[in-house]
Structure 1
Amino acid sequence: MRARMPGLLLAASAAIIAWLVHLALPFVPLLTAAVVLGILVAQIPAVRPALVGVLAPGLEVASRHLLRLGIVLLGLKLSLVDIAALGWVSILTTIAVVVLTFVGTIGLGRALGLPGHQPVLVASGFSICGASAIGAMAAALRARDEEQAVPVALVTLCGTLAIAVLPALWNPLGLSQTGFGHWVGAGVHDVGQVVATAQVAGTTALAVAVVVKLTRVLMLAPMVAITVAIERRRPTDATAVRTALVPLFVAGFLAAVLLNTFVPLPDWALTGADWAQTALLAMALFALGASIRFAELARTGWRALVVGLTSWALVAGLAYGAVLLG
């Protein structure tokens, strides 16, 4: 535990700084600030030896174990009752957006030769719930930390751009508050980015966006399970013998969803869980950001950028189509 403390203390300090940034600049989502802070720290030459040395054990705990705990607590944000209130058309179109974006991004990533698990991780981030989904899928597939660097950077970049781009398109596209909220919830990656983007259109748009977004978050469990099942069928894949079909933290996430749906939890418990979930994910995403090196991103070149931007356009286009169908 003593060896892990320096890295954990750094991650906790970074989470507090990200929170202060969010307080000062409310349009910057806390988790996005945590990832960006990690990326910036990783580019400081004087800090890099510590990141791979004395800080590494604690950062590894944050990026793996704290991430999983945060995802379990994320389930307490979801209620099947709220999701059912969207109606079957909205639910089915939201699921379709997730599945089509996921499959399309994987296909493009493999066609362009992205290495290892990167196509699956990019697809998870853009189709489900940003860097949190990348971490969850990486944990389930036992992907290396290096494989997460490009997907996390891409989804952070595009999600941050969405905060400015989508509101600018709200009126030109002729969307109502409800329609804009649905579009944002179905097409923006991280929950915090959804809130930052939708709030410009008012409380109605924000409420719809959050419920639609959490419906996408609920897809995390089946998408992870299906992906792991497919990977296990590949005899050359090392994850075939090491990975459970439904990882324990994914089962915990589903249990938290059911608990929040069927058990009347007191407000103080939900508020405390929300704070804990945010803190854990902020620490974890800082640690993931701290593993990113721009020099390594440059080696992937234009291929990763093309996949990320295309996936962003795909999910936004499909989400807009879902709004029109609804």
Structure 2
Amino acid sequence: MAAAGVALAWGTHRLVPAVPMLTAAVVLGIAAAHLPGVRARVRGAGKPGLTLAGKRLMRVGIVLLGLKLSLDDVLGLGWATVAMVAAVVAATFFGTLWLGRRLGLRGDQPLLIATGYSICGASAIGAVSEVSGSDEEDVATSVALVTLCGTLAIAVLPLLHHPLGLGDAEFGRWVGASVHDVGQVVATAQTAGPAALGEAVLVKLMRVALLAPLVAAVAVSVRQRRRIPASGATGATGATDVTGKRPALVPLFVLGFLAMVAVRTTGWLPGGALDAAAHAQELLLAAALFGLGSAVHLPSLVRTGGRVAALGLCSWVVVAGASYGGVLLTM
């Protein structure tokens, strides 16, 4: 089912290039979970495989995402731009997390939505959900919201290019700092030409680089929440959770991501290998996002839709506004 979803998403992207394949994969997953005649299989016999795709394939895709980034790219941005990106990520993450708690959203939804908006959309949500042990429905709802807003950005941001007084390069930086998914960044920035596209991709990949420290910080927080008194069953260790397992401080797939960044930095891999890895990464993430989309239950989403939509809109305003201010300061 996941493979069929990827094929349909690829076909949709080929027919309508403005629609990124990953965005199409999420939408098709949601549709499959609600279409009569298909939903019974998706929620029944197909659920184990789709859940596997949403978790395991997501991890492999995130590892390969590291091959898109090198340390030379980050240093080439200049320290002012790096500081701007870090500030935008921090403001968006903590602002969204705080507002989500104030709105009373359930479970890990505030954490996941904050992660998706501040870092790299659905990929970041999948990474953080792995260490936080988030409910599958919370993950699916967060992915659906972030994907929707990122898709809207493809149409909305180009309309603001000239009214905001941005040159092509500045527009690219704004897009890279404010749009969620890498594919959505490319689709939005290419409307302003190659200069904008190049700047957008570099800034976006700088945000992707912050995925590893964010996941590690969440893992530390989870370990602290699950720590039990030393007088309990764990004896002197006192660091295991109630299930007897110790949450990894840095998950294996995050170490893989960092290893791939190091490999890319060496320059050892030829262009053909990097292109093949990029295609594999997109296919794996498309399969994972189709699986996550199939877990979305629209009736449940409608029940909290007002608060979720309000959080998404406010977070979108925060990341776009903070990014715009940062771009103006670094011009």
Please classify the TM superposition score into its range, dividing by the shorter chain length: over 0.9
CA contact (8 A) 1:163 1:193 kept: yes
Partner-residue secondary structure (3-state), 1:232:
helix
1:120 aligns with 2:124: no
**What CA distance in whole angstroms lies between the structure 2 residues aligned with 1:46 and 1:137?**
33
Residues 57-98 of structure 1 deviation map (CA, whole Å, 9 limit, x = unaligned): 211110010000000000001111011111000001101111
In 2, the alpha carbon distance for the partners of 1:144 and 1:45 equals: 25
Retained in 1: the 8 A contact 2:29–2:290? yes
Consecutive unaligned residues in structure 2, runs of 5 or more: 228-240
Structure whose alpha-carbon radius of gyration is higher: 2
Residue number among 322, 327, 330 corresponding to 1:323 in the alignment: 327
3-state DSSP of counterpart to 1:106: helix
User: Which of the numbers 266, 270, 280 marks the counterpart of 2:270?
Assistant: 266
TM-score by length of 2: 0.93
Task: Note if 1:160 corresponds to 2:164.
Answer: no
Residue 103 of structure 1 is aligned with which of 72, 87, 94? Answer: 94
1:240 CA displacement: 9.8
User: Is 1:302 equivalent to 2:306 in the alignment?
Assistant: yes
Distance in 2 of aligned mates of 1:134 and 1:38: 16
- 2: CA distance, partners of 1:111 / 1:256: 38
- Give SS of 2:180's match: coil
Q: Is the 8 A contact 1:234 1:240 kept in 2?
A: no
2: CA distance, partners of 1:260 / 1:36: 32
Write the letter of the residue equivalent to 1:224.
V
Instruction: State the alpha-carbon separation in 2 of the partners of residues 49 and 30 from structure 1.
Output: 25
| Shift in alpha-carbon separation, 1:31–1:140, aligned structure 2, 3 A | same
Structure-2 residue corresponding to 1:54? 45
Alignment partner, residue 233 of structure 2: none
Aligned match of 2:8 in 1, 17, 21?
Answer: 17
Determine if contact 2:67/2:263 at 8 Å carries over to the other structure. yes
- Structure 1: which 5+ residue stretches go unaligned? 1-9
Distance 1:48 1:242, change over 3 A: farther
Residue number in structure 1 paired with 2:191: 200
The match for 2:257 among 253, 258, 261 is 253
Look up the SS of the partner of 1:273 in the other structure: helix
TM-score calculated relative to the size of structure 1: 0.94
8 Å CA contact 1:231–1:240 kept in 2: the answer is: no
Report the AA paired with residue 22 of structure 1. H
Post-superposition, which runs of at least 4 consecutive aligned residues in structure 1 deviate over 3 A? 235-242
Question: SS state of the match for residue 233, structure 1?
Answer: helix
- 2:235 paired residue number: none
Q: Alignment length, in residue pairs?
A: 317
Instruction: Name the CA distance, whole Å, in 1 between partners of 2:141 and 2:277.
Output: 30
How does 1:67-146 map onto structure 2 within 5 Å?
67-146=58-137
Report the equivalent of 2:237.
none
CA distance in 2: counterparts of 1:120 and 1:45, whole angstroms: 33
Q: Aligned-residue CA RMSD in angstroms?
A: 1.4
